[in-house]
Amino acid sequence: MRPILLQGHTRSLTQIKYNREGDLLFSVSKDNVVNAWFSHNGERLGTYNGHVGAIWTVDVDSTTTLLLTGSADNTARLWEVQTGKLLYTLETKTAVKRVQFSEDDALALIVTEERMGHPGTVTVLDIVKDGDKYTLEPINVIIPEGSKATVAGWGYLNKYIISGHENGSISMWDPKTGEKLKSVHPHDEPITDLQFSVDRTYFITSSKDKSAKIFDANTLNHLKSYTTDTPLNSASLTPKFQEFVVLGGGQEAMNVTTTSQRAGKFECRFYHKIFEEEVGRVKGHFGPINTIAIHPDGKSFSSGGEDGYVRVHHFDEDYYKFKHV
């Protein structure tokens, strides 16, 4: 089966995300548009219009009721998934680079950019519902010292918030007090993505330092490393019964002239989760891969590129042949 090409964006993709069941895929882009797609056939369910700047990030709650987005227009917005209705707009001082619902959907976090005298933050939001009205109320603002957060997410049972930083470090915070509990420094360059396992007991990071790493979410103990030859923008974990991680990245190198050299940099790379070896690649994008998401059933995955396309790949022997590396 050929990959399904989702053509609903005019500029580079920044994040894609499946809902819990995996029947829907949400995509956001620098073109200010949020799209929702049926993941099995690539038909568009709808769009969410309102942002007036590049959208950096999207998340959907566990019941596929609410969608949260963050944008360079200095807002985080809450939407109703089914109707596309904008429920609430939270104004921020700077761009919102990352959003995530807590495991129980009661809270969310947003990562805000450091700019023009405003420090970068990880802000905890209370999602308040009153009748059919929603508001997002900031209840805790964490300001990392030393290096801004680029990504963040909620650990198991919302006990911790884990953030990845521009200087390559990872920190663990108490979401109630904002206290820093732990910090490690596993990457040499900015962390570009942080995705949890389904049970949130471990997570994977990707970095511009050309590596991806897995950590225990309760201890920040380093468990696995995957080393590549290109700066990485995204890393995603397969479900428990599967032994792969999928990595994507690439750099628009002006001085790389041959097509073969260019092509190799823009493939999704599969690594064996335990043995840490590359086991295959999937081609397709014409530019760097910015974001990868694996379907919760582990039977397909999607990638979003600098080229403006989302590609949905179903794991099917006809085209899915691991190249021996």
Ligand X SMILES: *[C@@H]1O[C@H](CO)[C@@H](O)[C@H](O)[C@H]1NC(C)=O
Query: Toward ligand X, which CB reaches closer, 2 or 115?
Result: 115
Where are the strands (E) in 244-297, listed by range? 244-249, 268-272, 278-282, 289-294
Query: Toward ligand X, which CB reaches closer, 27 or 206?
Result: 206
**Least distance to ligand X from the beta carbon of 266, Å?**
16
**Least distance to ligand X from the beta carbon of 145, Å?**
5
| Residues at the contact surface with ligand X, assessed by CB under 6 A | 144-147, 165, 167, 169, 171, 183, 185, 253, 255
Q: Which of 166, 156, 125, 157 is nearest to 142 (CA)?
A: 125
Q: Side by side, which strands form the sheet with 75-80?
A: 55-60, 66-71, 75-80, 86-91
Query: Toward ligand X, which CB reaches closer, 144 or 284?
Result: 144
Q: How many CA atoms lie within 13 A of 11 on its CB side?
A: 12
**Least distance to ligand X from the beta carbon of 140, Å?**
17
Pair 204, 194: CB distance under 8 Å: yes
Q: Can you tell me the distance from the alpha carbon of 150 to that of 144, in angstroms, rounded to the nearest whole number? A: 11
Query: Toward ligand X, which CB reaches closer, 97 or 273?
Result: 97
**Least distance to ligand X from the beta carbon of 215, Å?**
15
Torsion sign, CA atoms 191, 196, 202, 204? negative
Query: Toward ligand X, which CB reaches closer, 70 or 168?
Result: 168
**Least distance to ligand X from the beta carbon of 108, Å?**
21
The dihedral region occupied by 191, where left means phi > 0, alpha psi between -120 and 50, and beta the remainder, is: beta
Query: Toward ligand X, which CB reaches closer, 19 or 140?
Result: 140
Q: Any idea which residue has 């389904």 for tokens? A: 198
**Least distance to ligand X from the beta carbon of 223, Å?**
21
